[in-house]
């Protein structure tokens, strides 16, 4: 039995237990909407266009913030890993701000940038940049010295060394940071939209809770889960394409 089949079985068992708990009234429908009812509600929200509106709003904010964090995180992480002097200056600042929750930064972002797109993008950048930066740093530091020395002997210039040797060997860890940060971006945008937004999945979920529309609430939660799952799978595929030599420990 392959890993994919085992994964599919686990999902089906989970959905069957969930559906049975509601159908046999082990849990009140008001508290927990069944998977079948949730799917019907998703279909209804899609037919009215409401779900697409909220998904587009959330995804726009995620794409903007995540893209900025990815570029900055890779650049800063590479410079820190390759140049000791940059690491000495930048690392204390990173370690000072990294433990601060993005949700604690959100009120400050709203104060600085207002309740529009900018504050939400700012918080996503803040939340996502650290995993990318630190994984990039670890990737650069893990490049075997023998590989670097061999490239130097073969006449590699500084830019070639960074792009073709250091960056290429760091890609697996960079992609790991990218996967972590995508999930973080989803978490942060939902919380931010619950605080200050009139569109987005976070706003949709909060409104459903306040108006006791449990089916809408679960429709939003399932949509987030699907986006997160698909996004992670796409990043895995991208890693496999960019790093065909890389095999995770434990894979056979």
**What residue spans define the domains of the chain?**
40-242
CATH class of the structural domain 40-242: mainly alpha
In whole angstroms, give the CA distance from residue 66 to residue 63: 5
Contact 173, 135 (CB under 8 A): yes
Phi-psi region of 25 (alpha: psi -120 to 50; beta: other; left: phi over 0): left
Q: Which residues of 37-62 are buried (b: 16+ CB within 10 A; e: fewer)?
A: bbeebbeebeeeeebeebbebbbbbb
Contact in structure between 126 and 105 (CB atoms under 8 Å): yes
Q: What share of the chain is helix, strand, coil (3-state, %, to 5)?
A: 80, 0, 20
Predicted TM-score (pTM) of the model is 0.86
Residue 231 — very low, low, confident or very high, per pLDDT cuts 50/70/90?
very high
| Angle in degrees, 0-180, between the axes of helices 214-242 and 201-210, rounded to the nearest 10 | 160
CA distance 151 to 140: 15
**pLDDT tens-digit series, residues 174-228:** 999 999 999 999 999 999 999 888 899 999 999 999 988 999 999 999 999 999 9
For residue 225, the model assigns a pLDDT of 93
Q: Which residue has the tokens 């978490």?
A: 187
């Amino acid at each position: 039995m392959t890993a994919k089949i085992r994964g599919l079985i686990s999902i089906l068992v989970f959905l069957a237990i969930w559906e049975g708990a509601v159908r046999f009234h082990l849990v009140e429908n008001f508290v927990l909407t069944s998977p079948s009812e949730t799917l019907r509600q998703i279909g209804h929200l899609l037919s009215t266009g409401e779900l697409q509106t909220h998904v587009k709003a959330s995804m726009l904010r995620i794409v903007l913030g995540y893209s900025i964090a990815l570029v900055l995180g890779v650049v800063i992480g590479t410079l820190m890993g390759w140049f000791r002097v940059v690491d000495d200056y930048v690392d204390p600042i990173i370690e000072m701000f990294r433990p601060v929750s993005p949700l604690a930064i959100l009120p400050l972002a709203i104060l600085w940038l207002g309740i529009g797109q900018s504050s939400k993008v700012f918080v996503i950048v803040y939340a996502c940049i650290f995993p990318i930066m630190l994984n990039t740093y670890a990737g650069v530091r893990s490049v075997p010295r023998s590989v670097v020395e061999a490239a130097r002997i073969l006449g590699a210039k500084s830019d070639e060394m960074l792009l073709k040797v250091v960056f290429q060997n760091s890609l697996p860890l960079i992609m790991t940071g990218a996967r972590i940060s995508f999930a973080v971006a989803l978490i942060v945008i939902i919380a931010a939209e619950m605080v200050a937004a009139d569109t987005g999945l976070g706003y949709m979920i909060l409104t459903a809770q306040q108006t006791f529309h449990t089916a809408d609430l679960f429709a939003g939660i399932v949509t987030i889960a699907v986006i997160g799952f698909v996004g992670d799978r796409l990043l895995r595929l991208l890693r496999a394409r960019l790093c065909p030599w890389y095999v995770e420990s434990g894979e056979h």
